[in-house]
Amino acid sequence: PDRFYLFRNPSALEPQSPMSSNVLHRYFLDIMQEAEKRLQEQGEEIQIITKINEQTGQPERAIYSPHGLRVAGLTAMAENGVPIEVLSKIIAGHASILMTLHYIVYSDRKVTEVLNGARKKIETQAKQGLREWLKDAAFEDAKRYLHANNDAAIAQLLSNVDAAFLSANSYGVCPYAGTRCHDGGEEIKKATKTTKAKYGPVRGGKENCVMCRHFVTGKEWTIELWLHTNRLFEAINHLSVNLDDLRVRRKALSKERYEFIKKQQQHLIPVTLVDEIKSLDFIIEEKSETLNDTIYSAHAAYKIYNGTKNMLGIESHNHQDNLGSVAVTPKEEHDSACVETSKFASQHLLVVASRLYPQFEDSRVELERNHFVDQIYANSGLVPLSLAPMSAEEKKLALDAASEHLLTKLSDTELKNLHAGAVSIQELGIHQEKLISPLKESNNLLGSIKDDE
């Protein structure tokens, strides 16, 4: 034969051919029926098969479909060590599937440039320059400098530039002023000769702009997109850890319930145990959906970020004079990569960035980062900075400075050991005054930013 398929059906009329869709679906339903049987034997109140053939007794329909194995299977493989590069080749068009601990990074020089007030002013001027240029721009010209999930969004933006920019979010603009979240999602009904296509709501809920077909952005929002993408990756990590803890608890409760079933004492199962299992099932399902939506959003944000980043390599801009921005060198200055980093490092990045970009402030992220530093201080016999006799602003600066110093001077392994109490700051040769010394620089930086403002 011309092709040698990996999975074939020896009992078919053409044994060299792959299995048919019907055969695969039958196997899947049989597996679902067996899974339902085993779960019910363990005391689970679950129904997977929803329709049985009255004549043959065979399952005909289930609450799950083979398509559902796509995300679940790939996610499981990623979590068990299959390289992201391998998974990305399985699904066409996807750069990655699960990037929980992977973050986009600039060079150190670029990060320093981003996190200063002067750069922030340039970005604001660039956005204003783009706004003025778009008022007279042709559609084809605008497409060269804007990134959109749908070209129709660019056309709508050009019809009323001022209104679109007035409703701009932190990393782009909405041509409909945020009023079309209800139909910014995937197509649910194709257009006909007499009717327009219909679209569902944006995946992930209202204002999840990276998943919206109306969303428009450009090179002027590259840094904000970079931060938003990292924020989504951090959220994935947080949700994943939270889900793992819930599943461990759920497994322990199931084991406790099974002990009654094994002794044929189902009638003695405490009502509180049953209620807690049901409650955990609901929470796990809800958080799993949130995690899934966040993964999709992170992937979309990463693709959009790369799209706008690549625009920076264009050497000739018709509107460059209006932007008042500094000329950029092509490739070297704006290369990005995905690297594995610690939770503490990623949270510190987001916290420090939020000082210049308040729209990315997240109290949970900052609290967890601060707790990490405080725990290191407490383990080393020092007063945690959050409890030090300082004002709220001074504590904020001190924690930023201490976090930066720890990340600069110590490896991830050393930081983990410090946090666990396996080693002290003094044993690593770092003294308290060295941790506080960067505070002066932070105060100087804050003062210069306020002076500029």
d(CA 241, CA 287): 11
- Distances 148 to 155, 299, 316 between C-alpha atoms, Å: 10, 15, 21
Q: In this structure, what are the phi and psi dihedrals at residue 102, rounded to the nearest 5 degrees?
A: -115, 135
Residue 330 has pLDDT above 50, yes or no: no
Instruction: Concatenate the DSSP letters of all residues of 15-64 into one string.
Output: TTSBPPHHHHHHHHHHHHHHHHHHHHHTT-----EEEE-TTT--EEEESS
Q: For a pLDDT cut of 70, what percent of the chain falls above it?
A: 75
- Distance, CA of 144 to chain centre: 27
Strands (E), 48-197: 49-52, 59-62, 102-105, 146-148, 187-189
What is the signed CA dihedral for 221, 224, 228, 233, rounded to 10 degrees? 100
Which residue is listed with tokens 């609450």? 63
3-state helix, strand, coil in the chain (%, to 5): 60, 5, 30
Residue 335 has pLDDT above 50, yes or no: no
pLDDT bin (cut points 50, 70, 90) of residue 443 is very low
Confidence (pLDDT) at 239: 94
pLDDT bin (cut points 50, 70, 90) of residue 123 is low
Structure tokens at 326: 């500094």
d(CA 333, CA 111): 11
How many Cβ atoms are within 10 Å of 120's Cβ, its own excluded?
17
pLDDT bin (cut points 50, 70, 90) of residue 126 is confident
pLDDT bin (cut points 50, 70, 90) of residue 85 is low
Residue 368 has pLDDT above 70, yes or no: yes
pLDDT bin (cut points 50, 70, 90) of residue 420 is very high
Contact 160, 177 (CB under 8 A): no
Give 26 or 340, the one with higher predicted confidence. Answer: 26
Structure tokens at 26: 């039958």
Tens-digit pLDDT profile for residues 215-237: 988 888 888 999 999 999 999 99
d(CA 292, CA 404): 32
d(CA 269, CA 281): 17
Which segment of 27-36, 57-66, 332-341 scores lowest on mean pLDDT?
332-341
DSSP state of 93: T
Tens-digit pLDDT profile for residues 380-415: 888 888 988 888 888 898 899 889 888 888 889 999
d(CA 298, CA 294): 6
Q: In this structure, what are the phi and psi dihedrals at residue 338, rounded to the nearest 5 degrees?
A: -105, 125
Q: In this structure, what are the phi and psi dihedrals at residue 225, rounded to the nearest 5 degrees?
A: -65, -40
Confidence (pLDDT) at 313: 34
User: CA neighbours within 13 Å on the CB side: how many for 110?
Assistant: 15
**Nearest Cα to 215, choosing from 303, 290, 291?**
303
Tens-digit pLDDT profile for residues 9-35: 888 888 888 888 888 889 999 999 999
d(CA 246, CA 276): 11
DSSP state of 11: T
pLDDT bin (cut points 50, 70, 90) of residue 348 is very high
Tens-digit pLDDT profile for residues 244-289: 999 999 999 999 999 999 988 988 989 999 999 999 999 999 999 9
Residue 447 has pLDDT above 60, yes or no: no
Structure tokens at 40: 């019910």
Which segment of 82-86, 139-143, 253-257 scores lowest on mean pLDDT?
82-86
| Letter string b/e over residues 346-367, b meaning 16 or more CB atoms within 10 A of that residue's CB | bbbbbbbbbbbbeebebeebbe
d(CA 113, CA 91): 36
Residue 195 has pLDDT above 60, yes or no: yes
Which segment of 96-110, 126-140, 155-169, 350-364 scores lowest on mean pLDDT?
96-110
Mean pLDDT of 322-340: 47
Structure tokens at 33: 């029926």
